[in-house]
Amino acid sequence: MKVLVRITDNNTIIDCTGDVDLYSSPQLREKLLESMRGANSRVLVNMSGVSYIDSSGIATLVEGLQLSQKTRTRFGLFGLRSNARSVLELARLNKVFAIFDNEQEALEKISSTEPFSGLA
């Protein structure tokens, strides 16, 4: 898996490529939590290159969501392939995360989404 971080304006975009599993999810976790603690108020994960995600990857995203609540960061995902989307739906997390079709939509709409709404 490859994880690259891009900074644009007030956004941090994490480009994730490959399989996100027990081996690789710590890399995503490190970048995600680092980004959440950074100066930007919007963090997006580009999942268009994610070919597989397991429970450890989902746990990483949920941890990011929880931290976004504490750091008052708007957090979203975009570009999910059908398998990743299916896994989130199966876990009933598709309504918990802010999910966008692509980067453009994510950048346009992330500011207007209700922040932190997925968590009690």
When asked if residue 83 is in the footprint of other proteins (CB under 8 A), the reply is: yes
* Residue recorded with tokens 């709409």: 109
Q: How far apart are CA 7 and CA 9, in angstroms?
A: 7
CB 65 to other proteins: min, Å: 8
Q: Tell me which of 34, 59, 70, 102 binds other proteins, using CB under 8 A.
A: 59
Q: For residue 86, give Cα distances in angstroms to 34, 72, 76, 83, 95.
A: 27, 28, 17, 5, 12
Structure tokens that stand for 109 in this block: 């709409």
Q: Tell me which of 6, 8, 91, 111 binds other proteins, using CB under 8 A.
A: 91
Closer to other proteins at the Cβ: 85 or 105? 85
Give the E-state strand segments of the chain in sequence order.
Answer: 2-8, 11-20, 42-53, 74-78, 98-100
When asked if residue 23 is in the footprint of other proteins (CB under 8 A), the reply is: yes
Which stretch, 4-12, 39-47, 51-59, 109-117, contacts other proteins (CB under 8 A)? 51-59
When asked if residue 56 is in the footprint of other proteins (CB under 8 A), the reply is: yes
Query: Cβ(109)–Cβ(100) under 8 Å?
Result: yes
Residues that bind other proteins (CB under 8 A): 19, 21-23, 52, 54-56, 58-60, 62-63, 65-66, 83, 87, 90-93, 96, 118-120
